[in-house]
């Protein structure tokens, strides 16, 4: 059955991706739901919730609110919250309920602006897409609202777009990126959404260039290029840290990751072993301009199983989040100790050599 999952926990949906982008921006984040979606975000999809709080609220929709379209009640609740909180903005993020009843987000935005003296953002997610789609919408909305003024370009200042736990996993990646770029490249890295907040977004036009580290931020980089002429490049400068030392010469390698990081890992492997054959695959967005022949987009577990069984791979890289021993899929297919997923206890970077070499599995972050 297409889409049936027997091994994987559900991937984070689009509203979780939107929250991930906005989490550190100092705004009031309202999830337009009855409470369940917000609970999943706090409990599973947003690992920073356990270390750093954000003003994240559920709209608390009830049956009659949805049936009668009581947007005024949501606006009243948001206005009350805005009076008691020191916030930079407010954002309303969609879920399946407003999608089903056809909520007009632009009208809702206008209603809210009359009652709340803050910039109002809306992200029309519907809970039916994966996190990257919501993150893409949130990046664009954030920049459209706040990155409006052209500022003088500061030499040696570089923007990093796409740094969220959903795409990068490691909660310390922002600090490591800033350290590496300063010490090795002699530039100051601005990691939007991971250590660098709304002030950095307002000054987005001041960077010399942007580096896109996730597909979800590509449209945001294009927007900044159109608006301010800021050039961008796509890649992950820390990819060398994700590739364990071993002999890749002549090996067939599969990398399962989000597209930008997968391509960066592929390039790193080929730099070390030009005769390695490296194929990438992803559950998430594959931008056509960066897709190479043979790259695979997974629709369900059967696609992964078929590729792993029939691909003849010597090494499989995968980024995975798993709880305790819940790592069945790759173990059942080829002996891997874990698999790519979102939303549980540990995030690891790992590879498995199917030829019998030692497993390498390094915990890089914990959500609890």
Residue located via tokens 């709080």: 53
Q: Which residues pair with 319 in a beta bridge?
A: 349
Lowest mean pLDDT among 9-18, 37-46, 165-174, 347-356: 347-356
Task: Check for a shared fold between 14-146 and 157-234.
Answer: yes
* Cα radius of gyration rounded to whole Å, the chain: 21
Residue-wise pLDDT tens digits, 226-275: 999 999 999 999 999 999 888 999 999 999 999 999 999 999 999 999 99
CB atoms within 10 A of CB 246: 16
Domain 14-146 bears CATH identifier 3.40.50.1980 = yes
Which pLDDT does position 367 carry in this prediction? 33
Which pLDDT does position 68 carry in this prediction? 62
Please give the sequence-ordered ranges of beta strands (E in DSSP) within 3-69, or none if there are none.
28-31, 55-58
What are the residue ranges of helices labelled H in 213-339?
Answer: 218-228, 259-272, 301-310, 328-334
Please name which of 32, 82, 33, 95 lies closest in space to residue 55, comparing C-alpha atoms.
Answer: 82
**62 confidence band (pLDDT: 50, 70, 90):** confident
pTM score = 0.85
Spatial distance between the Cα atoms of 177 and 363, rounded to a whole number of angstroms: 18
Give the domain ranges of the chain: 14-146, 157-234, 239-366
What are the residue ranges of helices labelled H in 116-258?
Answer: 131-146, 165-168, 173-185, 198-202, 218-228
User: Which CATH number, 3.40.50.1980, 3.20.20.70, 3.10.450.50, 3.40.50.450, labels domain 157-234?
Assistant: 3.40.50.1980
Residue-wise pLDDT tens digits, 306-361: 898 899 998 888 764 333 333 334 333 333 333 333 232 333 333 333 333 333 33
Which pLDDT does position 210 carry in this prediction? 98
């Amino acid at each position: 059955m297409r889409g049936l999952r027997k091994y994987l926990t559900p991937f984070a949906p689009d509203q979780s991706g939107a929250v991930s982008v906005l989490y550190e921006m100092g705004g009031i984040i309202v999830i337009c739901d009855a409470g369940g979606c917000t609970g999943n975000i706090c409990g599973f999809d947003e690992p920073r919730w356990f270390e750093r709080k954000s003003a994240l609220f559920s709209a608390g929709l009830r049956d009659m609110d949805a049936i009668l379209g009581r947007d005024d009640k949501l606006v009243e609740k948001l206005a009350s919250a805005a009076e008691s909180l020191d916030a930079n903005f407010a954002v309303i993020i969609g879920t399946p309920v407003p999608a089903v009843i056809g909520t007009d987000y632009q009208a809702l935005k206008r209603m809210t602006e009359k009652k709340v003296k803050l910039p109002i953002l809306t992200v029309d997610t519907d809970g039916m897409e994966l996190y990257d789609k919501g993150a893409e919408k949130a990046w664009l909305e954030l920049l459209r609202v706040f990155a409006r003024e052209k500022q003088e370009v500061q030499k040696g200042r570089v923007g990093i777009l796409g740094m969220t736990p959903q795409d990068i996993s490691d909660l310390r990646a922002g600090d490591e990126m800033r350290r590496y770029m300063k010490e090795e490249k002699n530039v100051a890295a601005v990691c939007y959404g991971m250590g660098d907040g709304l002030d950095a977004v307002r000054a987005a036009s001041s960077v010399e260039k942007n580096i896109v580290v996730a597909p979800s931020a590509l449209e945001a980089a294009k927007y900044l290029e159109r608006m301010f002429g800021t050039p961008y490049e796509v890649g992950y400068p820390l990819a060398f840290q994700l590739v364990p030392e071993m002999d890749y010469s002549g090996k067939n390698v599969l990398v399962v990751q989000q597209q930008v990081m997968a391509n960066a890992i592929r390039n790193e492997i080929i730099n070390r072993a030009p005769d390695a054959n490296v194929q990438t695959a992803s559950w998430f967005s594959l931008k056509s301009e960066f897709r190479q022949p043979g790259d695979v987009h997974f629709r369900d577990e059967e696609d992964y199983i078929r590729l792993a069984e029939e691909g003849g791979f010597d090494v499989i890289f995968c980024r995975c989040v798993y709880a305790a021993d819940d790592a069945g899929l790759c173990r059942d297919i080829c002996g891997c100790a874990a698999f790519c997923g979102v939303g549980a206890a540990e995030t690891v970077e790992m590879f498995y050599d199917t030829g019998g070499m030692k497993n390498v599995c390094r915990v890089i972050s914990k959500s609890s």
